[in-house]
Amino acid sequence: MLTIGYAAQTAKSPLAPFNFERRALRPNDVAMEILYCGVCHSDLHQARDDWGFSTFPIVPGHEIVGRVTEIGSAVKRYKVGDAVAVGCMVDSCQECDQCRKGEEQLCRQANTQTYNSRDRITKAPTYGGYSKHLVVREEFVLRVPDALDLAKAAPLLCAGITTYSPLRTWNVGPGSRVGVIGLGGLGHMAVKLAAGMGAQVTVLSRSPDKEADALALGADNLLVSSDKEAMKKAASSFDLIIDTVPVRHDVSPYMALLDVDGTLVIVGQIGPIDQQLTLPFVLGRRRLAGSPIGGIAETQEMLDFCARKNILPDCEMIRMDEINEAFERMERSDVRYRFVIDMASLS
């Protein structure tokens, strides 16, 4: 299937139109026309090879919503015309212990990423959602509930599940005390989801400027992390802190905010962190953890939860040819809170 997308040819080049072939359908494949694709901060990192493992040309995009256009002969779950979605992965071994219990994101043989990865059968590069069409193994296709606005649902496939998964892993519910560091694409979803689960939610910010936004998103409070007295008073007051900051930063000031058996979960930054003193870990039985996306079943659970609770990201719609400007704005944190590409603009 011949299609068109936007690709970076090198780490220094802007994204530009790129014609390429999608594979012919295998018996268990679903083909879809992409309607909307969210713009994730990791798309920027990978397009610029910030993490050192990008393969070019690269077509980013792993927050994908569209409609089924064709199905393979063995497909049972979907039919032409269905509203569907694809997130950060398109395949896994399906045989290891992690895959068998629905944790495909932790596949022992490594899951196949939606882009900048290799097809498990042909070894051809995978290309992502900044394109008109996609072909995906049926088991990695998600159903979009009717109650969700297709134009706003795309960021749920990464920003949504990345924050939903640790909230579920650490059993957040009514009465839980949750802190959220950062109020960007991931952070604003963490606030909405935690509030939807009934938690008491506090946004941690370096300045009070985001208080109104935090409260409007569903937070109960804003704690100014640069205010030493406020931080001291907040000691031992959280069960879980979700750290969504995507760049290197010092997490040590936040550890004392955790109560006994509390956990700070990093979901934003990929890379080194500053050296940590063990004292707050040992004396408070606190934990520092990381969390990736969730598995396919959990991602479907998250979509269904958002439909029931009417939870959607705050989005700004852009054209495909505005992606390079969007990347620049994203670097300046000039977006509230997630860009979504209207793929009707790509022809």
- Do 125 and 256 belong together in one domain? no
Given this model, what pLDDT does residue 7 score?
Answer: 98
Given this model, what pLDDT does residue 284 score?
Answer: 84
- Do 165 and 146 belong together in one domain? no
251: number of CA atoms within 13 Å, CB side? 34
Average pLDDT over residues 305-327: 97
Answer yes or no: is pLDDT of 203 > 80: yes
- Do 67 and 88 belong together in one domain? yes
Selected residue with higher pLDDT from 122 and 278: 122
- Do 46 and 81 belong together in one domain? yes
Given this model, what pLDDT does residue 75 score?
Answer: 98
Given this model, what pLDDT does residue 46 score?
Answer: 96
Given this model, what pLDDT does residue 86 score?
Answer: 98
Alpha helices in 24-149, H assignment, sequence order: 41-47, 97-100
Answer yes or no: is pLDDT of 333 > 90: no
pTM of this structure: 0.95
SS3 sequence, 217-268? HCCCEEEECCCHHHHHHCCCCEEEEEECCCCCCCCHHHHCCEEEEEEEEECC
- Do 6 and 143 belong together in one domain? yes
Answer yes or no: is pLDDT of 273 > 90: no
288: number of CA atoms within 13 Å, CB side? 17
- Do 252 and 339 belong together in one domain? no
> Which of 290, 319, 335 marks a domain boundary?
290
Q: Taking all residues of the chain, what is their mean pLDDT, rounded to a whole number?
A: 96
**pLDDT per residue over 66-84, tens digit each?**
999 999 999 999 999 999 9
- Do 22 and 59 belong together in one domain? yes
The domain that holds 243 is classified in CATH as 3.40.50.720
Given this model, what pLDDT does residue 328 score?
Answer: 96
| Cα 89 from chain centre | 11
Given this model, what pLDDT does residue 325 score?
Answer: 98
Average pLDDT over residues 211-239: 96
Given this model, what pLDDT does residue 271 score?
Answer: 80
Given this model, what pLDDT does residue 259 score?
Answer: 97
3-state secondary structure of 117: coil
pLDDT band at 15 (very low <50, low <70, confident <90, very high): very high
Domain with 93, as residue range(s), is 2-158+294-345
Answer yes or no: is pLDDT of 347 > 80: no
Answer yes or no: is pLDDT of 274 > 90: no
Given this model, what pLDDT does residue 281 score?
Answer: 85
Q: Which of 142-156, 163-177, 259-273, 305-319 has the lowest mean pLDDT?
A: 259-273
Given this model, what pLDDT does residue 150 score?
Answer: 97
Nearest 5°: CA angle at 40, between 34 and 46? Answer: 100
pLDDT band at 282 (very low <50, low <70, confident <90, very high): confident
CA distances from 10 to 14, 121, 245 (A): 8, 26, 26
Beta strands in the chain (DSSP E): 2-7, 16-21, 29-39, 64-71, 83-86, 89-91, 112-113, 133-137, 142-143, 177-181, 200-205, 221-224, 238-243, 258-266, 287-290, 315-318, 338-342
Given this model, what pLDDT does residue 280 score?
Answer: 81
CB 265 within 8 A of CB 243: yes
- Do 190 and 134 belong together in one domain? no
Helical axes 159-169 vs 185-196, angle rounded to 10°: 40
> Which of 245, 263, 290 marks a domain boundary?
290
> Which of 270, 290, 310 marks a domain boundary?
290
**pLDDT per residue over 87-120, tens digit each?**
999 999 999 999 999 999 999 999 999 999 999 9
- Do 183 and 277 belong together in one domain? yes
Average pLDDT over residues 310-334: 96
Answer yes or no: is pLDDT of 247 > 90: no
Dist CA 42 CA 113 (whole Å): 12
- Do 271 and 338 belong together in one domain? no
| Cα 250 from chain centre | 22
Answer yes or no: is pLDDT of 272 > 90: no
CB within 8 Å of 329: residues ≥ 6 apart: 335, 339
Domain count of the chain? 2
The domain that holds 74 is classified in CATH as 3.90.180.10
Portion of the chain with pLDDT greater than 90, in percent: 90
Answer yes or no: is pLDDT of 275 > 80: no
Pairing state of beta strands 89-91 and 200-205? unpaired
- Do 26 and 144 belong together in one domain? yes
- Do 239 and 109 belong together in one domain? no
Of 78, 67, 4, nearest to 35 (Cα)?
Answer: 67
Given this model, what pLDDT does residue 270 score?
Answer: 80
As given in the structure block, the two tokens for residue 79 are: 């039919």
Q: Which of 75-79, 160-164, 252-256 has the lowest mean pLDDT?
A: 252-256
